[in-house]
Amino acid sequence: MKNPIAKASFPCSTATSAHFAGKSKPGQQRFCSEVRGCFLLLRMDFQTKKMMPGEPDHKKPYQHDGVIAVATGFFNGQALIAERFEAMFVWNEARNYEATLPMVAISCAALSDAMNDLSTGEHKFAKFEGSWVQDIYNVHIQLLTTLKQTKPARYHSTMEMIFTKASVLQDSTMTGDLAIPTIGDNIPIWNNWTQLRPVGSNYGFRVSLMLNQRNPFGRRSAVPALHQTGFLHMREHPSVQSRFCLSCSRLRFSLCTMSGRRSEPEDSDYDDKEQGEEGEDEPGSKEERPAKCCKGTQVKVPTPPTEITYNINFFSVSYMSKLGKKPQPKGSAIVKLLNNIVFTRFERKVLAKFCTLAKIMVAPEDGEVAVKFQAPRHILNYVALDDEDAYQHMVAAALRSQNPAVNLALSCSDDMSSKSDVKEQKAAAKKKAGKKTKVPSENDISPVNAEINVKIALLRTKYTCHNNDGSDFCWVSPEDGKHVVLGHPHFNMWAAAWAHGTSDEETPPNHAIFSNTVRPVASQHPAPIAQPYEPQLTLIPPGMNIGPQMPITPFCIIVNLDNTIAEKFAANGYRTTAAFRFIELKDLPLINFSQARLLSCEKRFRSGQ
């Protein structure tokens, strides 16, 4: 059998990249995404009678391990596609990230094309062109769209599961309520042909996929797609293992049994190139040889990222001005991040930790929090961290040490700091309320106030009022003998004027408060009690409706009153019934009504007859 080698290069159009970003902008810059060296393990359960090895579950095809494994390349690749186009991810109702529809579709199309090559039994050089999987991509776009419309709950749970497993976030720096799912902070797997054995099955395959978009804006739109019925059907092949050449950008497949013994290649063109790689797939091999390219040149495996420890201290603006005096921070925390994350990702992590330290629920806006850094032994003074250049300088300085570490000083405005210190403010207010005031001693009183206090004591002793009129101190006017009530303002003003020589003990100062006015309490008398108001009774009661206006004579005929009553009304100037509502009962005797007629008239009007 020939040694299978396939080249995987995948173009992406402008429309597809705009679909990833979630919006399309005119003149959008081109991007080149690249997923390298990411070894993917697909587990296939062959023990069920319903499916063949590697055949997908038709009830949940999009939850297959192969789809998740290929989608991992969006997070673990060098280009960090998911991080650079983070806006394409959205929240669901459970406040969790979901994988996007094009992302799942493009993963399926790429995996489908690779597995179709394996299922033919012939493995040779073949380009992975996006135009070949365009139809598969469109099929999965329609399938996912239909699934979203008909079964939204299953769609959202599937997308959330794909994102969670593909991102493989292992970030323990964020805890508590502020811990939210994030993107692109995982460690790429740079494994030099290391064997990955399948778990729980006798069959398995490992795919290392490279998406090298050398022509990102090709004529035709091609993006990965998920699952075509039976596209993972392996026809009972033994486990398929692949190697990825970092130099020539080729995806290399080879068949081997579970014992680790590989099948001999039938292509003589690659016999010499493969002889130096025999035995390298065993994880327990004693001699680890460097990876070789298909052209025979050795490839240098990239260095894995380094973890940097960030010591975060939270200060206020007033504290930041005293950094030379080493003030005590309001809060401290430790965050460990990789050196290969971008500046925006780093800034988001630091601000999330700041929200935890400052006890605020709303993230601060741009410019509200100032960040300064200091690298031990390399950068002694604090330097502002406000752009990408400063961030790269900080990372480079930290990597010079054997144990990379950076000190971060975060400062915010005093208003924001005061809002975050709610508990401290309550404790300070409680302490202030419980503080007792000290009685001033004689030594604490100034000499000027001491003289005034002595004179106030003399005035209070002399002008004590012994009358039971409700006042303790009074000054009796020598002119009319009336009392003037003395209070604290009177004594203070009198003693001050006496100290300055403008008055004496007998004569108060010339001021309006010492005018010859009698005390209000002694002079005023209570007002007379108001007499109760008697309601006035009218001929027509207030609750009755007024009928139509008519002359009095026809009215008396209608209500069966005597003509004498009509004559009495007419003699006193009443012509129509409109005047009845203004006639009071006490006025009827004045019209010379007899007692019997008065009662008859009142009865008729009261009864409404």
* pLDDT of 535: 63
Q: Under DSSP, is residue 185 helix (H, G, I), strand (E, B) or coil? A: coil
**Helix ranges, 22-95 (H):** 65-71, 73-76, 81-84
* pLDDT of 321: 55
How far, CA to CA in Å, does 348 sit from each of 182, 334, 393, 408? 10, 15, 18, 14
At 406, is the pLDDT very low, low, confident or very high (cuts 50, 70, 90)? very high
Residue 369 domain-assigned (yes or no): yes
The size of the chain, in residues, is: 609
Exposure letters 166-204 (e unless 16+ CB within 10 A, then b): bbebeeebbeeeeeebbbbbbebbbeebebbebeebebb
pTM value > 0.85: no
Q: Under DSSP, is residue 36 helix (H, G, I), strand (E, B) or coil? A: coil
**Which of 129, 108, 111, 127 lies closest to 119 in space, CA to CA?**
111
Chain mean pLDDT for the chain = 63
Residues 180 and 168: their CA atoms lie apart, in Å, by 14
* pLDDT of 556: 80
Please check whether residues 68 and 181 belong to one and the same domain.
Answer: yes
- Which of 229-233, 370-374, 578-582 is modeled with the greatest confidence? 370-374
Decide the pairing of beta strands 405-412 and 474-476. unpaired
* pLDDT of 395: 92
* pLDDT of 222: 29
Residue 588 domain-assigned (yes or no): yes
Residue 600 domain-assigned (yes or no): yes
Q: Provide the CA 425 distance to its chain's centre, in angstroms.
A: 24
Residue 331 region, left (φ>0) first, then alpha (ψ -120 to 50), else beta?
A: beta
Mean pLDDT (whole number) for 348-359:
83
Contacting residues for 303 by C-beta, under 8 A, at least 6 apart: none
At 115, is the pLDDT very low, low, confident or very high (cuts 50, 70, 90)? low
Mean pLDDT (whole number) for 357-366:
75
Residue 272 region, left (φ>0) first, then alpha (ψ -120 to 50), else beta?
A: alpha
Decide if pLDDT at 595 tops 50.
yes
Residue 284 domain-assigned (yes or no): no
Mean pLDDT (whole number) for 348-361:
82
Phi and psi dihedrals of 45, rounded to 5?
-90, 110
Decide if pLDDT at 197 tops 80.
no
Decide if pLDDT at 366 tops 80.
no
Please check whether residues 127 and 180 belong to one and the same domain.
Answer: yes
Min mean pLDDT across 326-340, 423-437, 537-551 is at: 423-437
Residue 100 domain-assigned (yes or no): yes
DSSP state, residue 487: -
Please check whether residues 475 and 511 belong to one and the same domain.
Answer: yes
* pLDDT of 405: 92
- Which of 7-21, 192-206, 241-255 is modeled with the greatest confidence? 241-255
55 within 8 A of 230, measured Cβ to Cβ: yes
> Which position has the higher pLDDT, 248 or 116?
116
Please check whether residues 603 and 503 belong to one and the same domain.
Answer: no
- Which of 231-245, 420-434, 560-574 is modeled with the greatest confidence? 560-574
* pLDDT of 175: 30
* pLDDT of 579: 76
Give tens-digit pLDDT for 255-302: 332 233 333 333 434 344 444 444 444 444 344 444 444 445 555 556
Examine the fold and report which residue of 228, 258, 275 is the final residue of a domain before the chain moves on.
275
Decide if pLDDT at 496 tops 80.
yes
* pLDDT of 309: 92
Contacting residues for 83 by C-beta, under 8 A, at least 6 apart: 75, 183, 184, 185, 341, 342, 345
* pLDDT of 162: 87
Please check whether residues 247 and 364 belong to one and the same domain.
Answer: no
Q: Provide the CA 605 distance to its chain's centre, in angstroms.
A: 76
How far, CA to CA in Å, does 430 sit from each of 115, 417, 424, 426? 72, 20, 10, 6
Count of domains observed in the chain = 4
Q: Give the distance between the most distant pair of CA atoms in the chain.
A: 147
Min mean pLDDT across 126-130, 265-269, 500-504 is at: 265-269
> Which position has the higher pLDDT, 279 or 201?
279
Give tens-digit pLDDT for 509-528: 888 777 755 445 444 566 77
Residues 67 and 69: their CA atoms lie apart, in Å, by 5
239 within 8 A of 257, measured Cβ to Cβ: yes
Contacting residues for 481 by C-beta, under 8 A, at least 6 apart: none
Please check whether residues 261 and 347 belong to one and the same domain.
Answer: no
Single-letter code of the amino acid located at 540: I
**Which of 294, 331, 333, 335 lies closest to 314 in space, CA to CA?**
331
Instruction: Render 553-565 in DSSP notation, one character per residue.
Output: HHHHHHTT--HHH
Residue 532 domain-assigned (yes or no): no
* pLDDT of 96: 80
Residue 258 domain-assigned (yes or no): yes
Give tens-digit pLDDT for 32-76: 222 222 223 333 333 334 444 444 556 677 877 777 777 777 777
Mean pLDDT (whole number) for 63-90:
71
Decide if pLDDT at 342 tops 50.
yes
**Domain assignment of residue 355, given as a range:** 307-420
What percent of the chain lies above the pLDDT cut of 90?
A: 3
> Which position has the higher pLDDT, 570 or 95?
570
> Which position has the higher pLDDT, 11 or 117?
117
* pLDDT of 420: 53
9 within 8 A of 272, measured Cβ to Cβ: no
At 392, is the pLDDT very low, low, confident or very high (cuts 50, 70, 90)? very high
A 10 A CB-CB count for 346 gives: 23
Please check whether residues 77 and 144 belong to one and the same domain.
Answer: yes
Please check whether residues 98 and 202 belong to one and the same domain.
Answer: yes
Please check whether residues 142 and 189 belong to one and the same domain.
Answer: yes
Residue 436 domain-assigned (yes or no): no
* pLDDT of 499: 86
* pLDDT of 572: 78
Please check whether residues 82 and 134 belong to one and the same domain.
Answer: yes
Residues 155 and 162: their CA atoms lie apart, in Å, by 11
* pLDDT of 605: 65
CB-hemisphere CA count at 13 Å for 498? 21
Please check whether residues 16 and 100 belong to one and the same domain.
Answer: yes
Please check whether residues 267 and 322 belong to one and the same domain.
Answer: no
Mean pLDDT (whole number) for 405-423:
69
Decide if pLDDT at 490 tops 80.
yes
